[in-house]
Structure 1
């Protein structure tokens, strides 16, 4: 099984490195929805403060202020703590007119998923640890979607076990290079997709990274790193 280092182009360098160890590390991050951020074990824990029976209103997105480059390898460590739920990473997120995701001219967002795939932004979203609904728990997959729109463009098996058997950290890695997007867990490539820049809209460039969770998932994250040419 390859290591992450074998999946990141050799000449790329580290351009962002955040241990996500304390409140100081997430200064400048932005929460959308009602979520709590804590560091009980020295890594970032995210959870909703709403009743999951409220549906989409109980979900959250936590944006990193770093503006990722057009070509980037994004790695982070993941621990599932409580399920059911679902985790997503948004990347290459910008306003549909090229604006920063934090631009106040964009429509307000509150964690409701429609606001992210049919709102004012374009983005990729990779969903993993998909355990929210019974059908997701019966057959585990990781999905890559592209927006604007709700386009499912790639899918692969999810190797992460349920919380009863999980023994993280699980090393998550996304590599966006030109028209290609590759996703791997613990060095195992789950899918590699080529965007033709037409079928699902133009190629996406750089932009913000955001952690999304569907309630009642509790999960922890550490060592967010971004590499670029």
Structure 2
């Protein structure tokens, strides 16, 4: 049995009015779906990237599904879950250091989280071999890797459905029903298994991508 925690079509500005944005995110809806890109010059490096946190947290087991379509490469798209401060407080506690979208603040800063980069087309090695990577923080621990079936921009003719399931420390991730990852955190790397916390989307410039039909369920 699942309980709906959050659902948005991502088809109009009001669907993201309560998102918490860190970094230079620019949002538009030219085709009835959320188009995200950086408002900064990609030459700014990490300072051109951004994170958008959803206005919902999960307490434990969760399923997150969304539709994704890349529109311009290079770049990278990522999702965070089970994100909290390192001492278990809310990710948005005002006492925490400010975050501005630069990746080091998220993997080696004041928070713990899991992060899955599911569309990696930033560097030549990522473009020649497409993989999904899972990291566990605090720290830059690469804990799992799997194949990424998403096409590049040239061949992407629609949005593709992604689904992340987190249950009792086990991650399952698929795209269009194709299994990409199945990994269980046994606590051996990066400390104890994380439970609940915040959910966020991260994008690296100059990627432009569309998102739609976002659903978060407690399971």
Scaled by the length of structure 1, the TM-score of the pair is 0.93
Aligned to 2:17: 27
Work out which of the residue numbers 207, 211, 219 in structure 1 matches 2:209. Answer: 219
Aligned to 1:87: 77
Deviation at 1:140, TM superposition (A): 0.5
Distance across 2 between alignment mates of 1:74 and 1:217: 22
Aligned to 1:137: 127
DSSP 3-state at the match of 2:199: strand
Q: Is the 8 A contact 2:52 2:200 kept in 1?
A: yes
Distance across 2 between alignment mates of 1:22 and 1:72: 25
| Cα offsets for 1:77-111 (capped at 9, x unmatched) | 00101000000001111111111111111111111
Deviation at 1:15, TM superposition (A): 2.5
Aligned to 1:164: 154
Distance across 2 between alignment mates of 1:212 and 1:169: 18
Distance across 2 between alignment mates of 1:112 and 1:74: 24
Deviation at 1:200, TM superposition (A): 2.0
Work out which of the residue numbers 129, 154, 178 in structure 1 matches 2:168. Answer: 178
Query: Which consecutive aligned stretches of 4+ in structure 1 deviate over 4 angstroms post-superposition?
Result: none
Deviation at 1:222, TM superposition (A): 0.8
Scaled by the length of structure 2, the TM-score of the pair is 0.97
| Cα offsets for 1:187-210 (capped at 9, x unmatched) | 111111111123221111111111
Distance across 2 between alignment mates of 1:13 and 1:68: 11
Q: CA RMSD in A?
A: 1.0
Distance across 2 between alignment mates of 1:226 and 1:176: 11
Q: How many residues align?
A: 219
Q: Is the 8 A contact 2:5 2:56 kept in 1?
A: no
Asked whether 1:148 is paired with 2:142, we answer: no
Deviation at 1:44, TM superposition (A): 1.0
Aligned to 2:66: 76
Aligned to 2:43: 53
